[in-house]
Amino acid sequence: MQKMKVFDIVVKFSKPFRDFLDKIIFLILNKFNQWNLLEVLKNRPVLVVGNGPSLNKTDFSLFDQHVSIGMNKINLFYDRSTWRPDIIVCVNGSVLWQNRSFFNKTNTILFVPPRAMYLGVKKRKNVFVLNFHKNDDFSDNIKKTIANGVTVSYPCLQIANYLNPLNISIVGIDHSYKFEGKNQIYKKFEGEEMNHFSKDYFKNKIWGTPNLEHSEIQYNIAKKMFDNKNIEVIDYTVGGKLEIFKKEILNK
């Protein structure tokens, strides 16, 4: 408990310095982003993949023709499926640090904030460093800036939008968490992990508690954007609690 208090204090008081450092890193590395790598992923159906326990009940063979966007520790799903994402997005500092070993050896396209560079993730051809901001607004041009969101799925949807998708499907966004305490705080995960597809996802590790109410505000903003562009979004999450997007059941 004492260690978490110290961690919270360090995070709080170092924020202005970290924000300034992020801006400097982005200005330096932005020109090295290889946007041409995304051209072959444009104008196709897109699948956004969350990390909820429902992934263990999801049939990925139904999405073979989709460009897929995974998030955070989606690599922990690799031992239970032959499916692999085309893109992985990770924004949270703790997750970047915890998963840096995988991030540094994968050839999958990665989208990360500037802080990833001082959290152990190396800049390589497949690593895109983006200019994340804290507002709720949905960015239509992620080359310039992108909203961080209270859920990593929000920047995933903005990246999906950048790909000019034929349509967007969603799986694994269960929108249901079991935890004690306040929203949006860092704490050590204790007990049995039931919020993600793997029991080892955050077991005995630091994690950031969710804010489902605020995430719904951001999902509604995304839905309005997609509706205005006539891009259909269908949520196929098995048993998902999110009611923002049109829901359908997967059928072979």
Question: Is residue 190 one of the residues assigned to a domain?
Answer: yes
Is-contact 115 95, C-beta < 8 A?
no
Q: DSSP labels for 39-51?
A: GGGSSS-EEEE--
pLDDT at 234: 98
Question: Is residue 48 one of the residues assigned to a domain?
Answer: yes
Question: Is residue 252 one of the residues assigned to a domain?
Answer: no
Spatial CA neighbour of 49 closest among 35, 60, 33, 34: 60
Spatial CA neighbour of 71 closest among 158, 135, 6, 143: 158
Instruction: Indicate the pLDDT class of residue 166, thresholds 50, 70 and 90.
Output: very high
* Helix axes of 153-162 and 212-228: crossing angle, nearest 10 degrees: 10
List the CATH number of the domain containing 135.
Answer: 3.90.1480
Domain that holds residue 55: 2-247
| pLDDT tens-digit readout, 64-102 | 999 999 999 999 999 999 999 999 999 999 999 999 999
Look at residue 233 and give its three-state secondary structure: strand
Q: How many residues does the chain have?
A: 252
Question: Is residue 81 one of the residues assigned to a domain?
Answer: yes
d(CA 167, CA 44): 7
Question: Is residue 92 one of the residues assigned to a domain?
Answer: yes
For 82-163, strand residue ranges (E) read 87-89, 109-112, 127-129, 132-133, 146-147
Question: Is residue 74 one of the residues assigned to a domain?
Answer: yes
pLDDT above 60 (res 2)? no
Is-contact 173 52, C-beta < 8 A?
yes
pTM of the entire predicted model:
0.92
Look at residue 33 and give its three-state secondary structure: coil
Number of domains in the chain: 1
| pLDDT tens-digit readout, 168-224 | 999 999 999 887 767 777 778 887 889 999 999 998 888 888 899 999 999 999 999
Cβ-count burial of 186 within 10 angstroms (0-12 exposed, 13-18 middle, 19+ buried)? middle
Cα distances (Å, whole numbers) of residue 36 to 98, 125, 144 = 29, 11, 16
